[in-house]
Amino acid sequence: MAQHEVEITISRTGDVRVHVKGAKGKACMEYAKWLTEVIGRAKDQQLTSEYYEPETKSRIDLHQDLKVEDGSS
């Protein structure tokens, strides 16, 4: 399950700022298109730095414990 969030700010003059978060690639653009149709016409659109991040990140931490055996025994 993915969490999609939208922050909508309607200014006192009626202009609207929409911030779509959590939706990846095509889904993000679909939200943007849908909200543009609902509200009016686009004046500006920016993809935030988050947009350009890879969709998934993985990190593997490897730990190796070295055990030195005493050969004298």
Mention every residue, 6+ apart, whose C-beta is less than 8 A from residue 31.
4, 6, 20, 23
- Beta carbon nearer to another protein, 25 or 73: 25
Binding status of residue 4 toward another protein by CB under 8 A: yes
Report in angstroms how near the CB of residue 58 gets to another protein at its nearest.
17
Binding status of residue 12 toward another protein by CB under 8 A: yes
Euclidean distance between CA atoms 42 and 57, whole angstroms? 32
Which 38-57 residues touch another protein, going by CB under 8 A?
Answer: 38-48, 50-51, 53, 55
Size of the site for another protein (CB under 8 A): 47
